[in-house]
Amino acid sequence: MIYYTAKTPVEYQNFFHRQLGLPCIREGADYRMWENPQVGFIRSFGSIDKIQTGVGNYSVPSDFLVEYQYESHYLHFGIVFEGITYSMIENEMVATSIPSAFLIVKNTTGGINCWRKGQQFKGIEVSIEMKYLQEQLLPFLGYSDETPLMFEENVHYTNLSEEMRQLILRMEELIHNNRMTGALQTAHCLEFLALLFHPENQTRLLGREESFYRQIRIGKRQIRITKDDYKKIKCVHERIRQDAASFRTIADFSRELQISEQKLKAGFQDIYQQTIWDYANTIRMNQAVFLLNNTGKSVSEISTQIGYQSQAAFINMFKKWCGITPGQFRLQIRTANKSL
pLDDT tens for 143-180 read: 877 776 778 888 778 878 889 999 999 999 999 999 99
pTM for this predicted structure: 0.68
Last residue of a domain, one of 154, 182, 205: 205
Residue spans of alpha helices (H) in the chain: 9-20, 130-132, 138-140, 162-176, 182-196, 199-205, 227-242, 250-257, 261-272, 276-294, 299-305, 311-322, 326-338
Q: Provide the pLDDT confidence category of residue 86 given band limits of 50, 70 and 90.
A: low
Q: Is the pLDDT of residue 228 over 80?
A: yes
Phi and psi (nearest 5°) for 291? -70, -40
Domain that holds residue 100: 2-205
More confident residue, 145 or 112: 112
- 167 & 293 share domain: no
Within a 10 A sphere around the Cβ of 181, how many other Cβ atoms? 12
pLDDT class of 90 with cuts at 50, 70, 90: low
Asked whether residue 260 falls in the same domain as residue 155, the answer is no
- What pLDDT, on the 0 to 100 scale, is given for residue 93? 58
The predicted model gives 15-22 an average pLDDT of 94
Give me the mean pLDDT over the 65-84 stretch.
Answer: 87
187 and 314, same domain (yes or no): no
Please give the average per-residue pLDDT across 225-235, as a whole number: 84
User: Between helices 276-294 and 261-272, what is the axis angle to 10°?
Assistant: 60
Do 117 and 240 fall within a single domain? no
- Provide the pLDDT for residue 299: 93
Domain-terminating residue out of 171, 205, 239? 205
The percent of residues above 90 in pLDDT, for the chain, comes to: 42
Residue 208 has pLDDT above 70, yes or no: no
Reply yes or no on whether the pLDDT at 340 is more than 70. Answer: no
Find the mean pLDDT for residues 71-78: 91
By the 8 A CB rule, do 112 and 66 touch?
Answer: yes
Instruction: Choose the final residue of a domain: 273, 299, 323.
Output: 273
**Same domain, residue pair 199 and 219:** no
Are 75 and 93 in the same domain?
A: yes
331 and 221 in one domain?
A: no
The 8-class DSSP code of residue 153 comes to B
pLDDT at site 130:
93
CATH number at residue 240: 1.10.10
CA dist 157 and 301 (Å) reads 35
If you average pLDDT over residues 37-53, what whole number do you get?
A: 95
When pLDDT is averaged across residues 71-84 and rounded to a whole number, the result is 88
pLDDT tens per residue, range 244-295: 888 678 999 999 999 999 889 988 887 776 789 888 888 888 888 888 888 8
Average pLDDT estimate for 302-306: 92
What is the pLDDT at residue 223? 81
| pLDDT on residue 211 | 47
Q: Strand 64-68 vs strand 2-6: parallel, antiparallel, or unpaired?
A: parallel
Specify the pLDDT at position 242.
83
- pLDDT computed for residue 280 by the predictor: 87
| Pair 264, 298 in one domain | no
DSSP conformational letter for 41: E
The total of structural domains in the chain comes to: 3
Same domain membership, residue 33 and residue 152:
yes
CA–CA dist 5, 3 (Å, integer): 7
Do 14 and 95 share a domain, yes or no?
Answer: yes
More confident residue, 30 or 222: 30
Task: Say if residue 62's pLDDT is above 80.
Answer: yes
Q: Are residues 283 and 269 in the same domain?
A: no
Q: Are 264 and 293 within one domain?
A: no
76 membership: H or E segment, kind and range: strand 72-82
Average pLDDT, the chain: 86
